[in-house]
A = this chain, B = another copy of it.
């Protein structure tokens, strides 16, 4: 069973009153989608959308598997240094496709595969604690940066490399480093060449947030025993379903058009992704980066656009965010991710039959409870006229996770066309980077220093 998308609860008619997408709006979406699909096809044909090729990139897959095989059995721990897309993809893969709390399991429960640690920040407390407890003599360090110069990742690398050399010596440390970076440009590639450090390629036409199906995601996944061929196969199967310029038969197109219409026509600029599976929680975090950084943009006409993606988790967030989704402003969509096939999992024993809050639960299962809660939440939102949709996957397995990654990536490309923005750059973070370079004294940041110095100072009137 491939993934399914049910969007009944997004549509006028099923939704009460004036809520939901009308037939006219949907027709507009279908028309605009055909153009968006063609634009994405043309951009891909011109060589700029490399993420579309990743599900079929056997060369990259084999290179990745070869590096992973080289370290099989030789390390107990893998430490990944990266930030943004370089960390969110690997984290989502580990959470979904390894048992929960993977790093807390003993060797037997991990079946000999290493732990995977991810440092995705420059908090000194985190790095110090990591280095204090890692068995550095048995650790492989992955340094992941598309540009090869990301400031946070470079700072981590300098510290971790020194610690690694202190533990195993200079020569051995070089053998316990793998870089994942652009094949040509950037400091990491230059260092790899100069020192003979193993490096895998992120294709030049694949941006960091679209890189999970490149060695960025596949190498750490393969190192800890994830079925990366299955992930790519799921992505390829999803791609095959998303080739159509007809909206009605293209799931990535439907997702993009629904969110775009909901935002444009109904003011739903907050777009929650709410999987009902602990293993898919980090896919919501990965989606947040993808959707926010791709679509939050200034258009050529100077207007700012971009929906705000919101991560949620069912059933947990029924006790946190759902009150807001139900009664707060009608400015949101919620997309649930349901998982089929769990009806028989987690039998609830009968006990305390005399207590009304407990007695009715015996004989049910957690799997059924979770799906009932999802349906109940979706139904309650619909009854209130709040737009929601449900993606159902057959299981939390490698093909489904690969399919979800690809679905959302392609939907993002379509949404970029619908919003009329470039979904593949991030010019808005440049000013902050320049300000930071100026304060750090990086050569070439003098202009930013002058602009920084001209900013208003903290005002004692506005402090408490």
Given contacts A375-B435, A382-B456, A436-B372, contact A296 B315 (CB under 8 A): no
User: Which of A57-65, A144-152, A410-418 contacts its partner?
Assistant: A144-152
A11 contacts partner chain B, Cβ-Cβ < 8 Å: yes
Bound state CA distance, A452 and B379, in angstroms?
Answer: 7
Within 8 A of B (CB), among A382-403: 382-384, 396
Q: CB-nearest residue of chain B relative to A321?
A: B292
Do the beta carbons of B101 and A372 come within 8 Å of each other? no
A161 contacts partner chain B, Cβ-Cβ < 8 Å: yes
Do the beta carbons of A346 and B441 come within 8 Å of each other? no
Bound state CA distance, A230 and B332, in angstroms?
Answer: 40
Do the beta carbons of B349 and A159 come within 8 Å of each other? yes
Given contacts A326-B432, A435-B375, contact A6 B124 (CB under 8 A): no
Q: CB-nearest residue of chain B relative to A442?
A: B360
A75 contacts partner chain B, Cβ-Cβ < 8 Å: no
Chain B residues, CB < 8 A from A220:
none
Do the beta carbons of B357 and A186 come within 8 Å of each other? yes
Apart from A14-B459, A381-B432, list 15 A-B contacts with CB within 8 A.
A100-B130, A122-B366, A158-B351, A159-B347, A270-B308, A292-B320, A292-B324, A293-B324, A304-B328, A322-B429, A323-B426, A324-B428, A361-B440, A375-B439, A379-B452
Given contacts A155-B348, A310-B308, A435-B376, contact A4 B464 (CB under 8 A): yes
A105 contacts partner chain B, Cβ-Cβ < 8 Å: yes
Q: Which of B13, B311, B366, B372 contacts A123 (CB 8 A)?
A: B366
A227 contacts partner chain B, Cβ-Cβ < 8 Å: no
Query: What is the distance, in angstroms, from A368's C-beta to the closest C-beta of chain B?
Result: 8
Query: What is the distance, in angstroms, from A352's C-beta to the closest C-beta of chain B?
Result: 6
Within 8 A of B (CB), among A341-384: 342, 345-349, 351-352, 355-358, 360-362, 364-367, 369-370, 372-373, 375-377, 379-384
Do the beta carbons of A4 and B463 come within 8 Å of each other? yes
Within 8 A of B (CB), among A86-108: 87-88, 99-101, 103-105
Chain B residues, CB < 8 A from A155:
348, 361, 364, 366, 369
Bitwise, A145-180 to B at CB < 8 A (1) or not (0) is: 000111110110011011000000000000000000
A301 contacts partner chain B, Cβ-Cβ < 8 Å: no
Copies of this polypeptide in the complex: 2
Chain B residues, CB < 8 A from A323:
292-293, 296-297, 426-429
Q: Which of B126, B249, B319 contacts A278 (CB 8 A)?
A: B126
Q: CB-nearest residue of chain B relative to A255?
A: B464
Query: What is the distance, in angstroms, from A16's C-beta to the closest C-beta of chain B?
Result: 9
Do the beta carbons of A464 and B249 come within 8 Å of each other? yes
A55 contacts partner chain B, Cβ-Cβ < 8 Å: no
Within 8 A of B (CB), among A298-335: 298, 304-306, 308, 310-311, 313-316, 318-332
A451 contacts partner chain B, Cβ-Cβ < 8 Å: yes
Could you tell me how many residues of chain A have their Cβ less than 8 Å away from some Cβ of chain B? Answer: 154
Bound state CA distance, A320 and B286, in angstroms?
Answer: 9
Bound state CA distance, A100 and B134, in angstroms?
Answer: 12
Q: CB-nearest residue of chain B relative to A154?
A: B358
Chain B residues, CB < 8 A from A250:
464
Bound state CA distance, A45 and B172, in angstroms?
Answer: 68
Bound state CA distance, A174 and B125, in angstroms?
Answer: 39
A67 contacts partner chain B, Cβ-Cβ < 8 Å: no
Q: Which of B154, B324, B462 contacts A357 (CB 8 A)?
A: B154
A251 contacts partner chain B, Cβ-Cβ < 8 Å: yes
Do the beta carbons of A8 and B154 come within 8 Å of each other? no
Q: CB-nearest residue of chain B relative to A84?
A: B319
Query: What is the distance, in angstroms, from A91's C-beta to the closest C-beta of chain B?
Result: 11
Bound state CA distance, A99 and B322, in angstroms?
Answer: 32
Do the beta carbons of B277 and A298 come within 8 Å of each other? no
